[in-house]
Amino acid sequence: MAAPPAIAARGLVKRYGAVEALAGVDLEVAAGEVFALLGPNGAGKTTLVEILEGFRRPGAGEARVLGEDPARAGPAWRARIGVVFQSAGFFDVLTVREVVAHFASFYPAPLDPARVIAMVGLDGQERRRLKHLSGGQKRRVDLALGIVGDPELIFLDEPTTGLDPEGRRQLWAVIRQFAALGKTVLLTTHYLEEAEALADRVAIIIRGRFAAQGAPAAIGGREEGRATVTFHPAGRLAEAPLPPLPGLERLPDGRVALATAAPTRAVAELARWAEALGEPELPGLEIRRPTLEDVYLRLVRAHDAEADAAAALPAGGSA
């Protein structure tokens, strides 16, 4: 029998006045999975996470997190989840050690505070008061407070915002370490490479809806969609006419590009063409799949265009 999902939500809707922050979201995250929520600001990421954390009630729909309704769950449930906040206030005059140990004391079976401090890379800073820490060091405290209870499920709201690249790698390592222990992670992020580096699955949320969902490598048709083949014709290839492949075009920088759903066949054709001209190689040959960023930007633009069209309709009707 499969383990019950860590998170199961159906038809979540949340309105703030006229604004629909969530417009019917279904989400299922398996136990032990790392799931990333990607989306522009105001897309509904935080609202969704806050509903799952039990800080907000949905207007409609139903959520189960570790088998319980987050809006009603009590301290025993809280002991099983960890929340890494994005920009919550701090206990400024307490030291790193004091605040981590204090939070540890709330949990039935916490991790050793000293170990957690080392895990997030704050060893040597134990005796410093939080107000004297840099922004990046405070993010590490955020993470420490979220994991010190040794939770089964961790919510991370933009965990590496404000960190330098090294700090980001270090936090990724901590998150991976947790995932390797079979814990479930739900993270929101602005950074596509972060979602790609950490997540088993990604959902792109736009205007309160999931626009796409899947493994980072496959989302938005990345595996099936059109790939772009480019090469830089030099020597004899530059002078010869191009083979009759539909869609082949010369770029301003002198390269030749072809967007195609069958890149393998295109490369084979091009190779034969070059071979016939006595060139064994296609210089600068590249086959590029759409990146997560390409998919993301395409979806965001498509939705913006849709919204603009929808907004233009009533204006056009009344004119």
- Residues forming contacts to other proteins in the complex (CB under 8 A) are 16, 53, 55, 75-76, 78-79, 81-83, 85, 87-91, 93-94, 98, 102-103, 105-108, 129, 145, 149
Please give the structure tokens belonging to residue 281.
């190689």
Q: How far is the CB of 198 from other proteins (least distance, A)?
A: 21
In the complex with other proteins, the residue whose CB is nearer, 86 or 228, is 86
Q: How far is the CB of 105 from other proteins (least distance, A)?
A: 5
Min dist CB 246 to other proteins, Å, is 52
The answer to whether 115 and 123 have CB atoms below 8 angstroms apart is no
Q: Which is nearer to other proteins, 57 or 272 (CB)?
A: 57
Spatial separation of the C-alpha atoms in residues 47 and 15, rounded to whole Å: 10
- Measured from the CB atom, is 94 or 111 closer to other proteins? 94
Report the distance separating Cα 85 and Cα 97, nearest Å.
18
Considering beta carbons, is residue 19 or 307 the nearer one to other proteins? 19
Least Cβ distance, residue 113 to other proteins (angstroms): 13
* Smallest gap from residue 94 Cβ to other proteins (A): 7
Count of residues in the chain: 319
Nearer to other proteins, 113 or 149 (CB): 149
Choose between 128 and 129: whose C-beta lies nearer to other proteins: 129
- Residue (10 or 102) nearer to other proteins, CB: 102
Q: Which is nearer to other proteins, 55 or 250 (CB)?
A: 55
